[in-house]
Amino acid sequence: MSTVPYVLRRLAACSSIMPALLLSTLSPSATAADAATTTVATATAPVAAPVAAKTAWQETRHGTVVTDDYRWLQKKSDPAVIDYLNAENAYTAAVTAPIQPLADKVYAEIKGRMQEVDLSVPARQGNFYYYTRVEAGKQYPIHCRRPIGKGGAYDAQAPEEVLLDQNQLAEGQKFFAVRAFSISPNEQLLAYTTDTTGFRQYELHVKDLKTGKLLTDSMPRVTSLAWASDNATLMLAQEDATTKRSDRVFRLALGGTQQQVYHEPVEQFAINVGRTHDKQFFVLTSGSTDTTEVLLLPTNKPEGSFQPVLKREKGHRYVVEHRDGQLYILTNKEAKNFRIVSAPLSDPQARHWKTLVPHNKDAVIQSIDVFQGYLVVMEKARALNRARIHDFAQKNWKTVQFDDAVYLASAAGTPEFSATQFRMSYQSPVTPPTVIDVNMQDGKRTVLKQQEIVGGFDGSRYTTQRLWVKARDGVQVPLWIVYKKGVKLDGSAPLLLYSYGSYGISTEASFAISRISLLERGVIYAQAHIRGGTDMGEAWHEDGMLMKKKNTFNDFIDSADYLVREKWTSPNRLIIQGGSAGGLLMGAVVNMRPELFHAVHAAVPFVDVMNTMMDASLPLTTGEYLEWGDPNQKAAYDYMLSYSPYDNIARRNYPAMLVTTGLNDSQVMYWEPAKYVAKLRAYKTDGNPLLLKTNMGAGHGGASGRYNAIAENAFNMAWMLSQWGIDS
C-alpha cells in the first residue's frame, strides 16, 4: 500500500512519604525551601507531594533572557532525576491507593471481554498463509504460517510453522516490540527488527526459517527494510543515533558488510525504503512535511544506484507504484487533495502524465494499492473513509462505503499482487473490528471475521451520531459521540472528550473494548475532528499548523463549549484527554480555559515546546520546523511561545490532572511532562490533584505487553471515573 508520506512524529500503593532527605538531594543546589511540600488529602492521611528543586539556567533568545528553573530534569543520567521521578511515582501511588480496587475491577472487565486465545485472519503471500495468534496468559503475539491448501485456499489442518514467538524473545525484558517483519522472496528467511527499551531504536535480525537459527547479520537503528530478489541482499534505512532522523540507506549482502548507498543531507527530510507491490523495484522515499522525492532501483539489481522518479520540488508530495512498465503516481501537484496519474516508467515527467483520478476538493486521497488487474483508492470525505476500485480491463469503478453515521473503514493488507480480493477492516464506535474481503471484480463483500467480545456485545444498546460544531470563525467542525441509551441528556452526564489535531493525522471513529467500561457506567464519549488533521482534506491540516496552529486549540474549546451548551454535559462533568501532540492540545486549552474542564489526562504530552524546538540536537526537532515553525525566526518564535503550555503556566486554578509518560520516550522526552508538572505544582492556586506517573521501563507507547497495557489503561480510566465520583 502506498500512502502519502509524512516524516516520523512526536503519540503498588505506597503508604509512606518520600523521606525529606531524599527530597533535599534532588539537585546539588536544592535548599530546604526548594524541598517544601504540598499536600493532597486521601482517605487516610495527607500525603506530601514532591516539590522539585529550582536551579539557575538562562539563555538569550531573540534578545530576551529566558529562564528555566527545571532544566536539570533534562539530565537523565543524573541519579537525582531518577530519584525525583520515583518520588512522583510514589506520591501518585499513595494518592491513588483508594482507587486501586476500581482499577483492578476495570482491568478484570477489559480482560474478561478480550478473547485471550485468538487468531488473526490468515493472509496469503506466495506459497503460505501468514497470521498471528495469541495464547492465554501470554503478553505478545506468535507469528506463524501454513502452506496453501488445495486451489490456493487456506487449510487450517495444514502443519503450522512458528516463525517468531515474541514471548520467548521478550523473556527477561521490561519492554519488547517488533517493527519490521519481512519474508524473503524464496520464503526461507525472515528479516525483523526489535526494540527492548521503548526508545524506538530497532535492531536488525535475520532468521533462517529452515534451521530456526539466527544469521550473524545485524545492524542497529534500522527503521525500514526490503529484500532484493536474490534472497541474499537487504536494503536498510538507518536513523541517526542522536537525532533519530532516518538519513541513510545501506545495502547488506548477507554474510558481508553493509555499504552505504544513499544519504539524505537535508535535516527536514527523513527516508524510508520499501518495494513496489509487484516487487520489481525498491522504493526510496525521502520526505518532509511538505515535500517528497521518490527514487527507484530494480530489486534484481541491488548493486545499482537509486534513480529519482521526479526532481525534488518544494511543496510537491507524491508516492509511486508500478505495473507493467507504467508508474502510478499519487501527487498533490495542482491538486491539494491529491490526484492519481499514470506515466511511462521510461519517462515519468509531467508532460507524459495521464489523469486516472482527478482532484476532488471534497475528498482527500489517502493511499493507493496497485494490483495486476485493479487499482484501489482509499479516500476520506467529510471525516468518513471509503474505497474506490478501478478495474483496468473493464475500465470501470466501484465504491465501497458504509451507511453508518460514523465509522472507520481502512485497507487491511493484501500482500499478493495478483489478488482479486481486497481486504478491508471496518469498525464503528458500536461495531467491533470486522475483516472483510471485497471482490474487486463485482464488489461483493465477504465477512471473514468480527472481533469477538467475550460475554457478548449488543451495539443496539448504544447510540452513536455525528454532530457539527460551528467554530468561532464560522468553520463547521465535525464531532462524533457514543453513549448508552437511557443516559440523561440534561447536562448532568459525565463526558470524556478526546482529540489530537496535528501532522495531518485524522481522528477516527473506532471501536474500543475498554470504552465499554465507561459507557456502561453512563459516561458519554466524544471525539472532535479539529483542524490539524486531514479529516476534512489537506486544507484542514494546513489550517491547524504553523502560524494557524491556534485553530486547533480553538476548535477543541469550541467543541467543548458546544457540548456544554447543548447539555451533553457541564464543565464540572467534562474530562478531556489527549496524547503526544494531543498532549500539547491538553496543555494549551487548560491554560486558555481552565474553568471549562473538570479534569485532564495528558499522555506523553508535548508541552515544553520552546525548549525542545530551540534545541536542534534533540531527536526529531529540525524535522518538525515545517509543522510547528522554525523558532529561530522571530515571528514563528513569538507565535509558538504564545501557546507553549510550559511557558504559559500562570498563577490560577487548574483542573485535576493526571500526566503520564515513559522514561525511554524518544518522541516526547520524559522531561517535558516532568518539568511541566513541577512548574504547574509551583504555580497553581487550587487544591485539585496533580499527578505524574512515569513508566520507568517503556517509551512513547507505554507498556508493550497486552496485559500490562490493559493495566495502564485501567488505571487511567479508574482515575477519570473517580474524578466523576464513580467509585464502582
Q: For 403-456, what is each residue's pLDDT tens digit?
A: 889 999 999 999 999 999 999 999 999 999 999 999 999 999 999 999 999 999
Calculate mean pLDDT across residues 333-357. 97
What is the structure's pLDDT at 43? Answer: 43
With the C-alpha atoms ordered 236, 239, 507, 120, is the resulting torsion angle positive or negative? Answer: positive
pLDDT at 6 over 80: no
Answer for the pair 623, 270: CB distance below 8 angstroms, yes or no. yes
pLDDT at 463 over 70: yes
40: pLDDT strictly greater than 60:
no
Cα separation, 139 vs 205, whole angstroms: 21
More confident residue, 472 or 620: 472
pLDDT at position 586: 98
Helices (H), 427-536: 515-519
- Res 41: pLDDT: 41
In this predicted structure, what is the pLDDT of residue 722?
98
User: What is the DSSP code string of 548-599?
Assistant: GTHHHHHHHHHHHHHHHHTTS--GGGEEEEEETHHHHHHHHHHHH-GGG-SE
Range with the lowest mean pLDDT among 30-39, 472-481, 659-668? 30-39
- DSSP code, position 309: S
pLDDT the model gives residue 537:
96
Q: In what order do the strands lie in the sheet with 233-239?
A: 222-227, 233-239, 246-253, 258-263
pLDDT score, position 419:
97
Closest listed residue to residue 339, CA positions, set 319, 309, 314: 319
Q: Name the nearest CA neighbour of 208 among 224, 192, 193.
A: 192
What's the pLDDT tens digit per position in 647-685?
A: 999 999 999 999 999 999 999 999 999 999 999 999 999
DSSP state of 74: G
What mean pLDDT value characterizes the chain?
93
The H or E element spanning position 713 is helix 706-723
pLDDT for position 12: 30
User: What confidence score (pLDDT) does residue 215 get?
Assistant: 98
Q: pLDDT grade, residue 269 (50/70/90)?
A: very high
CA 97 to chain centre: 30
* Amino acid at position 665, single letter: D
> Which helix H or strand E contains 676, and what residues bound it?
helix 671-683
Cβ-contact 173, 184 below 8 angstroms: no
Render pLDDT for 61-106 as a digit per residue (tens, 0 to 9).
999 999 999 999 999 999 999 999 999 999 999 999 999 999 999 9
- State how far the Cα of 452 lies from the Cα of 560, in Å rounded to an integer: 33
Q: Give the separation between CA 35 and CA 53, rounded to whole angstroms.
A: 7
Using CA atoms, how far apart are residues 35 and 22, in angstroms rounded to an integer? Answer: 9
> Percent helix, strand, coil in the chain (nearest 5)?
20, 35, 45
Question: In the structure grid, which three cell numbers stand for residue 706, read together?
Answer: 497486552
Q: What Å distances lie between residue 181 and 144, 202, 204, 325, CA to CA?
A: 12, 12, 10, 28
What is the predicted pLDDT for the residue at 629?
97
Summarize the confidence of residues 690-697 as an average pLDDT. Answer: 97
> What percentage of the chain exceeds 70 in pLDDT?
94
Q: Are strands 2-3 and 161-165 parallel, antiparallel or unpaired?
A: unpaired
Residue 27 has pLDDT above 70, yes or no: no
Q: What is the pLDDT of residue 681?
A: 97
Contact by Cβ (8 Å): 549, 532:
yes
Question: Distance of CA 103 to CAs 69, 109, 493, 661, Å?
Answer: 35, 10, 21, 18
Residue tagged active-site, from 34, 184, 700, 704: 700
- Cα-atom radius of gyration of the chain, to the nearest Å? 26
Q: Give me the catalytic one of 217, 247, 369, 665.
A: 665
Residue range 25-32: mean pLDDT, rounded: 30
Q: What is the mean pLDDT of residues 324-330?
A: 98
Give me the pLDDT at residue 42, please: 42
Res 45: pLDDT: 54
Identity of the amino acid at 440: M
Active site residue 665: yes
Active site residue 666: no
Confidence of residue 15 (pLDDT cuts 50, 70, 90): very low
Q: What is the mean pLDDT of residues 469-478?
A: 98
Supply φ then ψ for residue 364, to 5 degrees. -95, 135
* Rounded Cα distance, 670 and 678, in Å: 13
Percent of the chain with pLDDT over 90: 92
pLDDT tens string 553-603: 999 999 999 999 999 999 999 999 999 999 999 999 999 999 999 999 999
Confidence band, pLDDT 50/70/90 cuts, at residue 192: very high
pLDDT at 11 over 60: no
- Length of the chain equals 728
Q: In which band, very low, low, confident or very high, does the pLDDT at 36 lie, cut at 50, 70 and 90?
A: very low
Cα distance between residue 63 and residue 434, in whole Å: 57
CA 444, CA 468: separation in Å to the nearest integer?
A: 33
More confident residue, 26 or 330: 330
Query: Predicted confidence band at 618 (pLDDT cuts at 50, 70, 90)?
Result: confident
Contact 7, 286 (CB under 8 A): no
3-state secondary structure 123-161: EEECCEEEEEEECCCCCCCEEEEEECCHHHCCCCCCCCE
Tell me which residue has cell 509524512.
6
Contacts of 661 (CB under 8 A, 6+ apart): 603, 604, 605, 668, 670, 672, 673, 674, 692, 693, 694, 695
User: How many whole angstroms separate alpha carbon 521 and alpha carbon 476?
Assistant: 31
C-alpha cell at 147: 502452506
Cα angle 101, 526, 584; round to 5: 85
The average pLDDT across 219-224 equals: 98
Closest Cα partner for 256 from 215, 300, 221, 203? 215
Q: Exposed, middle or buried by CB within 10 Å (0-12, 13-18, 19+), for 610? A: middle
Please check the confidence at residue 16 and state whether its pLDDT lies above 80. Answer: no
Question: How far is Cα 248 from Cα 238, in angstroms, rounded to an integer?
Answer: 5
Phi, psi torsion values for 266, nearest 5 degrees: -80, 125
Q: What's the rounded Cα separation, in Å, for the pair 695 and 697?
A: 6
Considering only CA atoms, which of 268, 348, 283, 373 is closest in space to residue 319? Answer: 283
pLDDT, tens only, 42-62: 444 578 999 999 998 999 999
pLDDT band for position 217 (50/70/90)? very high
Per-residue pLDDT tens digits for 428-442: 999 999 999 999 999
Question: Amino acid identity of 727?
Answer: D
Amino acid in the structure at residue 383: A
Catalytic: which of 580, 644, 704, 722?
580
Return the C-alpha torsion angle 446, 448, 453, 456, nearest 10: 50
Question: Which class for 135: exposed (0-12), middle (13-18), buried (19 or more C-beta within 10 A)?
Answer: middle
At 290, which amino acid appears? Answer: D
> How much is the pLDDT for 1?
74
Which three cell numbers mark 616? 536542534
